[in-house]
Amino acid sequence: MISSKDNEFIKHVKKLKDKKYRDLSNEYIIEGIKLIEEAIKEEAQINQIVICDDCEKTQNIPKNLMYEIAKYECVYVANKVFNTISQVNSPQGIFAVVEKNNKNKQIDYKQDIIIALDNIQDPGNLGTILRTADSIGLNQILVSKGTVDVYNPKVVRSTMGAIFRVKVIECEDIVKAIKETKKHKFKLVVTTPNTQDTIYNINYNKKVIAIGNEANGVSKEIQDLADYKVKIPMLGKTESLNASVATGIVLYEYVRQKINKD
């Protein structure tokens, strides 16, 4: 059992809070019973599972999960040490070090729609968008270089396990990536308030849906590539919506059309 904060493994885990170190080690942290259950279920590459040896909350870990956990390399740490490395306010006494799933970064052109995120900054927004994409069966999302890191702890938590199922493709040049999708017969849909057309006026088949930065919307470069510019009609006085809410509304219009078609 590790009881020292100066242990080399503990130092390594602490450093994983930093993006540069996550990129260097190709690892990230997941914390809590739900995420570890999902990681095991989806056969994520779990390098170590860290368990608080004397935390009362570890008693809440189901026995069947404990049997699964025993198949991995387990590291037990004292409560005082665990609290220094936990990244949540109310830790459940368990987290894991997981290897990034970044081997296959090719765009899948077989799906009906592709989401392209243009400089999304809020971790909660990105995590919720991944979770929403997972809920409708999408297996990928394109993100610009300036988008918040998908392995940011807040993003990982808000995905609720979707991070293990949805491939995030970080594009060095998101404009170039969108142009490449057009070569595969995809049309670009951009959300903007400056149009009379709504999200209900188009057919969501072979479409790339661009969602813009929370403050500035979709960049002009991407807007200039748009085949369709649409808005979400609103009846109240609010002028704009949260990026993840807007994404969910558009994606579920796709679901509605697909259900009706089927």
Judge whether residue 103 has pLDDT over 80. Answer: no
By the 10 Å C-beta count (0-12 exposed, 13-18 middle, 19+ buried), 232 is classed as middle
Dist. CA 143–CA 211, nearest whole Å: 10
Least confident of 12-21, 63-72, 96-105, 171-180: 96-105
> What percentage of the chain's residues is helix, strand, coil (to nearest 5)?
40, 20, 40
Out of 51-65, 71-85, 90-104, give the one with best mean pLDDT.
71-85
Residues 20 and 53 in one domain: yes
Residue 67 near residue 42 (C-beta atoms within 8 A): no
Q: Quick one: pLDDT at residue 136?
A: 96
Residues 118 and 81 in one domain: no
Residues 118 and 82 in one domain: no
Residue 88 near residue 32 (C-beta atoms within 8 A): yes
Q: What is 67-99 written as a DSSP string? A: HHHTTS-EEEE-HHHHHHH--SSS--SEEEEEE
Task: Over range 61-67, report the average pLDDT.
Answer: 88
Structural domain containing residue 244 = 113-261
Residue 167 φ/ψ, nearest 5 degrees: -80, 130
Q: Quick one: pLDDT at residue 135?
A: 97
Residues 165 and 245 in one domain: yes
Residue 5 near residue 81 (C-beta atoms within 8 A): yes
Q: What is the pTM of this model?
A: 0.91
Judge whether residue 91 has pLDDT over 90. Answer: no
By the 10 Å C-beta count (0-12 exposed, 13-18 middle, 19+ buried), 74 is classed as middle
Spell out the residues 6+ positions from residue 105 whose beta carbon is closer than 8 angstroms to its own.
167, 169, 170
Residues 152 and 255 in one domain: yes
- Taking residue 234's Cβ as centre, other Cβ atoms within 10 Å add up to 11
Residues 144 and 56 in one domain: no
Dist. CA 131–CA 116, nearest whole Å: 15
Q: What is the pLDDT of residues 122-179, one digit of tens each?
A: 999 999 999 999 999 999 999 999 999 999 999 999 999 999 999 999 999 999 999 9
Least confident of 27-31, 213-217, 244-248: 213-217
Q: What is the pLDDT of residues 12-59, one digit of tens each?
A: 999 999 999 999 999 999 999 999 999 999 999 999 999 998 776 677
Q: Quick one: pLDDT at residue 57?
A: 67
Residue 245 φ/ψ, nearest 5 degrees: -65, -45
CA distances from 53 to 1, 16, 69, 78 (A): 8, 21, 14, 6
Q: How many domains does the chain have?
A: 2
Task: Give me the percent of the chain exceeding a pLDDT of 70.
Answer: 99
Of the three residues 48, 72, 99, the one that is the final residue of a domain is 99
